[in-house]
Amino acid sequence: MPQKFLNDEVARRTGEDPRFIARMGFSPLEPMPLELDTYDPREPLVVDWDELDLERYLAMCG
């Protein structure tokens, strides 16, 4: 997607001036991971809220 098209769409939907949007530096979302050709052994930084709630509940009961 050309950058101008993205800027124009964001400006149209937000009501902002396209020049202002261009200065904001919007970019299209990319599928994860962004670096598809590099190996990264780290786990993604996510929180499983259901698992965390279960751990807290079990800690209170146990």
Residue 23 phi, psi (nearest 5): -75, -20
Those residues with Cβ within 8 angstroms of residue 58's Cβ, 6 or more apart along the chain or in another chain: none
- What is the pLDDT, as a whole number, of residue 40? 63
- What is the pLDDT, as a whole number, of residue 28? 82
Confidence of residue 1 (pLDDT cuts 50, 70, 90): confident
pLDDT digits (tens, 9 = 90+) for 33-61: 555 556 667 776 788 899 999 999 999 98
Peptide bond into 2 cis (omega under 30): no
Report the predicted TM-score, pTM, of the whole model to 2 decimal places.
0.47
C-alpha span between 18 and 24 (Å, rounded)? 10
Domain residue extents for the chain: 1-29
